[in-house]
Amino acid sequence: MQFNFLATLDNLITAIIYLLVSFTLFLIGKKVYQLIHVGIDMDHELVEKDNLAFSLANVGYYIGLVIAISGVYAGEGIAHIIDNIIDIFIYGMLSIILLNASMFISDKLILRKFSIKKEIIEDQNAGTGVIEAAICIANGLIIYGVLAENQDNFIGILALWAVAQIALVLVGIIYNLITPYDIHEHIEKDNVAVGIGFAGAIIAIGNLVRFGVQMDAENWVMVGENLLLETGVGLLMLPLARLLTDKILLPKRKLTDEIINQEHPNVGAAMIEAFSYVGGSMLICMSFS
């Protein structure tokens, strides 16, 4: 293969332009986050107070933001770079708006029993921080799936996003019902292990919902069937993954005892539980793709 210097240079310049556009969108997303949380001195929380809970939530937002913006690039490209940049900017801004709206909805409905701001800022509850991070990542995945197949279809994007929010919130509520303890109660007690396990479940369901909505919104029958299948499988997967964690990954211990029935909750066991949820969701997506 003959080296083409001009073609390589053109590709490099194009990549740099796209990188600058993406970085600009990231900075806008960061600024929007700061404006929404105008009452929080972020530098003070991160540097002066060394607030781990806020750091987790903040980094989770950035991860979700990058995932959501990358959904713009997953669609079909346009021949002219100017048209591409315009589309990337428009749908990138839409992804920022949807991500922040998703966080508000999830915060009010999934973690509805206590004040997230109080838990993260005043109590520095790392368990709440890791769940907030997971909510951002899960919604970033969902927005990625919605944008990937539906650019130039604003109505389809908004409709799919709304349906996905309902699915994520319902599964979050149902997960609390199938666990042998009250998640909200133990998170409020600063149990980081419970927060990590729940965070894994949220990301796993977000990934499954992402897979379910990653299709053309014109065919609503297929979208509905796919979304119901993925969320249904996800609901079955959560208790099964928990059982397998007990029997295979932690054969000599009971997961519930490790997480809530000892003086110092076992964060390592919770990380294994979270891994089983996320890993299971990835295997399910690969199996159905």
Average pLDDT over residues 190-210: 92
289 burial (CB, 10 Å; 0-12 / 13-18 / 19+) is exposed
Look at residue 278 in the predicted model and tell me its pLDDT. Answer: 92
pLDDT digits (tens, 9 = 90+) for 70-79: 988 876 655 5
Closest CA to 228 of 211, 204, 253: 211
Look at residue 77 in the predicted model and tell me its pLDDT. Answer: 56
Range of the domain at 47: 5-288
Q: Give the count of domains, the chain.
A: 1
Closest CA to 18 of 72, 58, 96, 93: 72
pLDDT category, 176, cuts 50, 70, 90?
Answer: confident
Tokens, residue 149: 């197949």
Position 99 pLDDT exceeds 80: yes
Look at residue 79 in the predicted model and tell me its pLDDT. Answer: 55
pTM summary value? 0.91
Look at residue 75 in the predicted model and tell me its pLDDT. Answer: 65
Position 209 pLDDT exceeds 80: yes
Task: Report in angstroms the alpha-carbon separations of 171 from 20, 160, 165.
Answer: 37, 17, 10
Do 201 and 277 meet the contact criterion of CB atoms below 8 Å apart? yes
pLDDT category, 128, cuts 50, 70, 90?
Answer: very high
Q: Kindly give the residue spans of alpha helices, DSSP state H, lying in 110-125.
A: 116-117
